Amino acid sequence: MEKAPKYLQIFVVVYLVFLYAPALLLPVFAFNDSTIISFPLSNFTFDWFLGLRNESALHDALGNSLLVALSSAILSTCLGVLASRASARHEFFAKKSIISFLLLPLVLPEIIIAVSLLVVLSQMGFALSLWTVVLGHTLVCMPFSIAILTSAFNNMDQSLEEASFDLGETGWGTFRRVILPLVAPGIVSSLLITFTLSLDEFIIAFFLTGTGATLPVYIWGQLRFPNKLPNVMALGLLLLLFSLLLLSVGEYFRRRTKQMAGTDSFTGD
């Protein structure tokens, strides 16, 4: 491969610094013994992390977020399984358009989704609650589920299903004994990634939440109090690490789906 020109290499470095430097400030100030977020740094401390233990509002928000993230992850993955299975195995009217519409929230600005959901839900007389947030999150998470699961279903050799059917198994039995085990890594990956997305999502949660705030909404609220800023930094760092962990595990499972599917290549003996 040809080596990239110098100016492109510099561009990439600048780009990456611009993208990640702010996030790198999180760990720096999370351990800094001063309420003011600025250089020079003073002493090293764990106080901001320890302080998080006493914030009961934070604990409520964390509980809310976990509930919302878990519900959205399960809902969007279930819907994703249905949609992916349908698109991978069946032909139906306007298939391409329908799939495109399902993937639309991927490119639609979240603020538009949030505002329109708010308008529709209040017009229909729904009270805002965590469940309205789950609804919104499911909508934006589903395209990710569909994208991950469609490749999992597509990678599966269709004759495996036919073989199962041929050996006397029913449709449901085939799903349970063959399809599910083979797409399981895809499902785990989808659950983890949508969970992370929902956990970090702010705009929709901000608009659709009722009385109970989710974690990002809580953090937003905390920004009004300058002396709480180091706490927020500490919390942000924990969230960042947790998200990275979930995404890595999710990616591991997504790759395993691909490996599982590569079963048709073999050598003669």
Partner 1 sequence: MPKSIDAPTNGVIVDLNKVSKYFADVPAVNGVSAQIREGEFFSLLGPSGCGKTTLLRMISGFEQPSSGSITIAGVPMEDVEANERPTNMVFQSYAIFPHLNVEENVAYGLKRLGLSKPEMLKQVNEVLKLVDLSGYNKRPAQTLSGGQRQRVALARALVLKPKVLLLDEPLSALDKKLREQMQIELRHLQRTVGITFILVTHDQEEALIMSDRIAVMLDGKIAQLASPQELYSRPVSKWVASFIGVMNFLQGDLFRDGGDKLSVDAGILGKISLNQEQIPVPVATGPVTIGIRPEMLTVLYDKNSTAEFELNAVIMESDYYGDMTYYTVKVEQSELVLIVSMRNTAGRTVLKEGDKARIGWGSESLVILAESTSSE
| Interacting residues with partner 1 (CB under 8 A) | 157, 159-160, 162-170, 173, 177-178, 181-182, 260, 263-264, 266-269
Cα 50 to the center of its chain, rounded Å: 28
Cα(36)–Cα(229) distance, integer angstroms: 8
Nearer to partner 1, 42 or 263 (CB): 263
Q: Do the beta carbons of residue 193 and residue 148 sit within 8 Å?
A: yes
Q: Quick one: DSSP state of residue 90?
A: -
* Shortest distance in whole angstroms from residue 155 CB to partner 1: 11
Using CA atoms, how far apart are residues 235 and 33, in angstroms rounded to an integer? Answer: 15
Q: Which of 255, 217, 257 is nearest to 235 (CA)?
A: 217
Closest CA to 84 of 154, 172, 180: 154
The minimum distance between CB 257 and partner 1, in angstroms, equals 12
Q: Please say which residue, 161 or 201, places its beta carbon nearer to partner 1.
A: 161
Query: For residues 109 and 171, which CB has a smaller minimum distance to partner 1 in the complex?
Result: 171
**Which CB sits closer to partner 1, 116 or 263?**
263
**Which amino acid makes up residue 59?**
H
The DSSP secondary-structure symbol of 128 reads P
Give min distance, CB of 145 to partner 1, in A: 22
Angle at 24 between CA 188 and CA 27, to 5 degrees: 85
The least CB distance from residue 88 to partner 1, in Å, is 17
Q: How far is the CB of 269 from partner 1 (least distance, A)?
A: 3
Of the pair 2, 264, the CB lying nearest partner 1 is at 264
